[in-house]
Structures are given as structure tokens and as C-alpha cells.
Chain A
Amino acid sequence: MDHNLTLLRLSSALAAHAASRQTVVTENIAHADTPGYKARDLPGFAETLAAGPGFAARATRPGHLEFGAPAHGAEPVETAAFGAESPNGNSVSLEDQMVRSAEIRQSHDLALGVYRKTMDILRTSIGKAR
């Protein structure tokens, strides 16, 4: 039982990571022609998971300040330029970003697939027909 819940948590974390990464890639593409913009990306899910939850102070009273990185939180970092930079200092390559978004799509589908399957197993174990 506990094992299954870990799976659920893991797959929803992967889906959240894919969604955050999709935001970063979309921002890159929106800025494909902005002078001086540098392409960014999130670190991979494995690294994010290995780093553990971000350190964030817990606010337990109204007067407490909240600070620190969010729990799912990896900060986007600049990626190495794919090919040559444009003359205006922009390092976004549409091809590279498309490949990244295809990767993101795959990992999001994987996460949702695992989540759905786990739910099916849980349902079966409580004796409900699928």
C-alpha cells in the first residue's frame, strides 16, 4: 500500500516537473527573436529528485515570513547555445526547443500513464471491477 502511494507521489511530481519545464521552453520560444535573450531550461527530473525537496521555511503563525525555494523547486538555468548564437545575442534555437518539448511531452505522458495504472491497481485491490 505504502509502495503504491510512493508511486502516486512520484508520478505527480514528474508531471509537475514536466509542466514547469514546458513553461520554461515556451518562454524560450516566445523570446526566439528577443535581442540578448539566453535560452534556459530546468535541470532533469532525476537531479531534482536527488537534490530532495527544496529548503523552505515553514510558516506556522501569521507573523512568520515565508522564504526559501518551493518544494518542487528547481530554478531554470541557462543552457549552452545549440549551434551559433544570432548576431543580436539571442541563443534560442527553435529546433533544440522543439526536441526538448517532445521530451517533455513524453515524460508527462509517462507520469500520467503510471498514475492511471497505479490507480487501477488500487481499485482492483479493493475489489472493484475496472
Chain B
Amino acid sequence: MDELTRTMSAAASGMAAQSARLRLSSENIANVDTPGYHRKLVSFEETMRDDSRAVATGPLQLDRTPLDRIHDPNHPLAGVDGYYDGSNVNLMVEIADAREANRSYEANLRMFEQARQMAGSLIDLLRR
């Protein structure tokens, strides 16, 4: 029973980490047209929580690739050459990342559900 509680705690940490990643991905997508916006990234690392090897999100990082130079002389931020700095968000990458986060989140949820059912059937032994 104790093992199953640890299982649920590990699965919950996985879900928290994946939803943090999904949130950053949505923020990036929302800011795809914000001039000067750098894409936000987070990496995952191992921690010990409640005696199980849980996952936690590391520090927030900014994508260092150069910003897109967009030619639009009518834009208020455009320089004398008619270019301004856009964001370095690539929609295709963000959507793929969001899809992957979603898939991993569901896998964690499936494991949580299974641990819960296993604990439930253990308790069912006490019936009758």
C-alpha cells in the first residue's frame, strides 16, 4: 500500500512537470508575434520526494537563437533599414512540443489511475 502511495506521488510529480511545460509552450505560442520575445524553455531533472524518484522542472531558460529580422517599414519599431526584431518562436516546434507534453501527461495519468485501482482492489479484500 505504501508502494502504491509512492507510485501516485511519482505520477503526480510527472503530471505537474508536464503541465508546466505545456503552459510555457502556450505562452510561447501566444507571444509568437510579440517583437523581441525570446522563446521560454524548461528542462526536467530528478529529485527525491516522499521517498520516490520524482521529476521536477529546472530553472526557466530563454532560447538564445537570434530573433527573426522582419522587413516591414510601416511597423512602429522598424529601424531606418525597415527591419525590426520579431520573436524566435517557431509555431511548428511549439505545437509538436505541446503534443508531446500532452502525450506524456496522459501516460502519467494512466499510471496514477492504475495505482489507484490496484490500491482499491487491495482494500476490496477486506470486504465481506
Contacts of A91 in B (CB 8 A): none
- Cβ-based interface call for A30 (8 A): yes
B34 at the A/B interface (Cβ < 8 Å)? no
Tell me if B110 is interfacial: C-beta within 8 Å of chain A.
yes
The contact size tier of chain B is 35 or more
For the residues of A in contact with B, the DSSP-based class is helix
Bound Cα distance A30, B18 (Å): 9
Number of interface residues of A (CB under 8 A): 29
Chain B residues with Cβ below 8 Å from A25 are 111
Known: A31-B46, A33-B104. Contact between A26 and B118, CB under 8 A?
A: no
B residues near A37, Cβ cutoff 8 Å: 46
B61 at the interface (CB under 8 A from A): no
- CB of B28 within 8 Å of the partner chain: no
Instruction: State the B residues within 8 Å of A (CB).
Output: 1, 3-4, 6-7, 10-11, 13-14, 17-18, 21, 43-46, 52-55, 100-101, 103-104, 107-108, 110-112, 114-115, 118, 121-122, 124-125
A residues in contact (CB < 8 Å) with B: 15-16, 18-20, 22-23, 25-27, 29-35, 37, 94, 97-98, 101, 104-105, 108-109, 112, 115-116
